[in-house]
Amino acid sequence: MIRFRLFFSFLLLSVLLSCGKNYQYQKKYELEGERWMYADSLEFSFNIQDTTNIYNLYLQLDHSTDYSFQNLYTNIHTTFPSGVRLDEKLSLELANRAGVWLGKCNQNHCTLTIPIQQNAYFNQQGRHRIMLEQYMRQDSIPGIRSIAFMLEDTRQNR
């Protein structure tokens, strides 16, 4: 009976662990004073070995419920191992049109995971770098507590 319980417990634990997200890379920045300044460029650097893998890319924001805007404008700079750099402006929607916060919220803050690219693949092996900058109309954006980037391996190939 004890062996059966141990086996069942091990099997249940294995199933629970295998069902979660498979992040190949993740990094989180806590922003000092819950403010994101122009000078606070956030860098995420990860290595890609297998160019046939398919990935999902996410940003996770933790912001105050006192945040003054519906969205957050950002610049994303991607630098590939070859040195080629792509720049893209991206509006991160934090609330719907009615002003209701998206994500999981309590009285003081919200956490929102935003897919920025689904079913992505990388054509080059080596070190990839993503630089994230705030691109709002004012230098100091209050209410942004932390920002994380996650690279999920979908366990699929192209």
Q: Which of helix, strand or coil describes residue 20?
A: coil
Write down the CATH number for the domain with range 23-157: 2.60.120
Write down the domain spans for the chain. Answer: 23-157
Query: How far is it, in rounded angstroms, from Cα 143 to Cα 65?
Result: 8
Query: How far is it, in rounded angstroms, from Cα 105 to Cα 66?
Result: 12
Pull the structure tokens for residue 111.
Answer: 């956490």
**Residue 32 DSSP symbol:** G
Query: How far is it, in rounded angstroms, from Cα 29 to Cα 44?
Result: 10
Query: How far is it, in rounded angstroms, from Cα 53 to Cα 151?
Result: 12
For the chain, 158 residues long, give each residue's pLDDT as a single digit of tens: 565 444 444 444 444 445 568 999 999 999 999 999 999 999 999 999 999 999 999 999 999 999 999 999 999 999 999 999 999 999 999 999 999 999 999 999 999 999 999 999 999 999 999 999 999 999 999 999 999 999 999 999 99
